[in-house]
Chain A
Amino acid sequence: MSHLIRPTRRGFMTGAAALAGAATLRFPTPALAQSDRPDLVIAVQGLVDNLEPIAAISNVGMRVVNAMYDTLLYRNFLANPDGSGAVIEPGLATNVERLNDHTVRVTLRDDVVFHNGEPMTAQDVAFSFGYDRMFGPEPLTPRAAYFRPDLAEVSVIDDSTVEFVTNGPDYAMEKRLASWIGWVVPEGYFRDKGLDGFGTAPIGTGPYKLKEFLRGDRVVLEANDDYWRGRPTARTVTFVVVPETATRVAGLISGEYHIACALNPDNIPLLQRYEEVEGRGAQIENTHLVVHNQVDNVLADKRVRRAMHKCIDRDALNTALWAGLAGVTNGFQLPMQGEAYDPGRAPYRQDIEGAKALLAEAGYSGEPITYRTLNDYYVNSVAAAQAMQQWWQEAGLNVEIEIKENWGQVTGDGLMSRNWSNGFPLTDPVTPLTTDWHEGSNVQKNYGWKAPEEFNALLGKIRSMPNSPERSAAFQRALDIFDDEAPGTPLYRPYELYGIQSSIGWSPVTFEWMELRPHNLAFD
């Protein structure tokens, strides 16, 4: 344990600590116990109440379920040193075979057992993605409706083969099987327990299995020593809820926690004062945005929307609000989207004069525009709104900020501009463009964005084609139209900061979960 709690540099404090030791007021430290492996303690900002893997999809739930379940295919984030890798490797499936544009067939490992000791079968896999749990009219996991592929059928071919058929062409299916939708659950146990029962006592195939679940307080996992990818490196993993950021930092520095999640960039100088801890982080595959409701208002003119877009200095926002740690993208794309990504695409630049010219051209004369934000639901969003308001004002845009208390108020009557975020859950151009901006999307259907025919046609291409220069060109052309039309405007990628005991070998990934599998968790 000495490597975890080191004496502080200041002498009198060392003395005081010694005194404390003499007073025998000791609390359990999360370090190496009797066992050969340490007990890992992670302080988190919150927990979900249901550990069913789809029900748990959220920024506080996925880091837990990722340690308990496996996907058929495995996205190796750590193929890149910064945790942004997009390599798809075998997972519970040893092989994936594309039969045609809407059919893939996977071959399963035969040595995988669930935490209850029962072997994982093709039936379990088919159930996990099947009609009853995922894509029927009343799925056992209703939340699957947001995330599911457009499946037509999932069928067991034989004991080790499962076939996925989609309604339309879907060349991203392999990537979906490596995403948050792809965690495999045991059919019999799940049907037996139901959604809530399963969420309370979940069973997966992952490196850690549930030991204790105190809702709102902690989840304790213990090593699944039969894990098919190798022996887990921690004896137990405890996710303990410490809602207050300052308390998480304090507990990390005092040695009670190995890792503290969801810290602020403000905390970095403090972490730097203590050599036994450090900050590690990654830009998340997500973009904060501005989106416009254009129905019956001045935003129906794309020149006004473009003017708003041109006023924003994203680097300034990043420096001021994120200590420069957030990500500013070159267009609405990320490198992990694969070959359709164009590294040469020009980054967004602030251009107030250009905005003024556009407004003059549009004949904008100070009509009020409201900008709504749900408090700081999106981290730093109020401060960002205030900064943008200044720039907009400079260009002559009359924008009023409205800070709301719930989503009903944000999306209610009088909505014009508001903040939003888009995730990039697949390593493919289909998300978020074809999921959040397509013809049937809220923006086109309800917010009055009259997208050019060409844009919708391009999205159809992106959705249905395999990777190819033609698909890449379609994607880049769609981004051009997106920027020109500016139905919304990307701002930056948020940064997830972890505080960690420096001695622990662990790297964050660019997604809202933690990788705790043996290859990414080492105690020196």
Chain B
Amino acid sequence: MQIPTLSSAALTAADTPQLSIEGLSVAHRSAPQTQQVSDVSLILPAGGALGIVGESGSGKSLTCLSIMDLLPGALKQSAGVVRLHGKPLAPGRKGIRGRRIAMIFQDPGATMNPLRRIGPFLSGLVKLHRGLTGAAAEAEAVRLLDSVRMPAARARLRAYPHELSGGQNQRVMIAGALAGDPEILLADEPTTALDVTTQAQILDLLAELRAERGMGLVLVSHDFGVIAEAADHVAVMRAGRVVEKAPADRLFSFPQHPYTASLLASIPPELGRASALTSRKNPPCNRPSNATKAIGLKARGLSRLFEARGRVRVHALNGIDLTVQPGEMLGVVGESGCGKSTFGRLLVGLDKPSSGDIRAGGKPLVIEDGEAFRNSRRQLQMVWQDPLSVLNPRLSIGHQIIEVLQTHRITDDTQSRMLELLQAVNLKAEHASRYAHQLSGGQRQRAVIARALAVEPQIVVFDEPVSALDLSVQAQVIEMIADIRDRFNLTGIFISHDIRVVRYVSDRIAVMYLGRIVEIGPADDIYHAPKHPYTQALLSAVLSTDPKRRKSRSILRGDPPDPAQMPSGCPFHPRCPRAAARCRVETPALQAGADSRFTACHAVDVETSGRHWEAAA
């Protein structure tokens, strides 16, 4: 692998790097010839921020773990050396771990001992690294929590991890990492498990801490946006090797390596609108039966109430009114807990609404009546995030599709229809004989979609269909979904937490917050000119890799809300930068604005013209 000399020279410019990795290789203990990481050399200049980016399996996390000598037991460092200020680090990293180099991880909930309260966790670390005990240690724990901007720090000492949100737990982990006052922080996908608004908060916190402490940062992520946000030097890894390393600005502006360039091109905002790219690229797919016209979908006052944990009532959905036109793709976006998945489940009849009704093609969806339900089930299909859990592991892909075709008596020539379906989702005929575990993640999701299409549905609900996929694959699958939607004349609901992805495939976007639609309108309008403060915040949290498009972001305060604790008035008011007295008592209704847009916000109501929000200024 040829490494461009230009960027190497730039990286080695500092005199003695704070941290350097030289010729690192990681191999399996039992199969030393198969290297997971090959000959990786990286440098962290003093006080710098090194980003390591790559798709799953690229070796980026193993590289990071090698710095701490924390490789999984089955792997070992087969070559190379890690140096701190030029001095090689000894195996075991005694005196280094937690003291000079600290580390935080992906899922903050899982990286904390569920049986330990926050207080003992932090004061234990304070004692370990600083020798403080008793009240002094506790005071230091509080100070650490304060330093990671944890609200009500002292009160948190008695909390267990499960009582905190993901963002709060990550703050606690960072506080713990700071306990030894390290000079370098390693962050392995620190925001991947978090919602976008929380991700922005954590990245800001890391930046602030770096500035305050002059701390070096090694940031590992699959997300170019995160890397672009936080790193000033970037290494791109692929299949265990560094394919490109360069200062961030240069890398994002002028990627040298084709792989880097292709990854950057896969990021949804860079793709433009789906219709522009894909419309009528392929001829409409032949349907064996009479071509059906697309049908619409109409939800009226749709609510879903869960009675959880005894008397606590959770309003997962709260009076949704919605119309999806025949052939339209509606994107639904929102953070975890906003009710978007519940909405999807109600639409396909996997759950029953507490009140309200749903009509498909003008006919009500009846769940109680078995026969009618089966028919409506045929019209409605759902595609989930995790294709492995919905595919039968013991039947080949082709077999599963043929089985569906036979069950619903779609056609007599099941074999050729099955091959047509595979072709429609860009799978090859040879994939028909494969089993789920023999396919890649993207191929599995294609197979799931092909199987869903086999029953000739009129409406398909996609629930986070690409969230588990690597960036490059994500782009291909999104494109394929846009394509089949046209060819199969589908009406679709596309649910995602990522507004970039939603915007790419959707005609219109509905933004949900705490079980309500707070804003709905044409995709481009929402994306470029959001009116609701929450939509604005969501878009603000989208991280751009284009240095020219970096902006000062408006970061939402607080955590994604808990549907079990519904605020009064406008549900968004506790986090809203524009909240007024009225917002605390009165719930705003969706109001029609210009260009078939609807917004539920008192602040928007009072504006006569609507502020044009510049997303890409």
The answer to whether A and B touch directly, with their CB atoms under 8 angstroms apart, is no
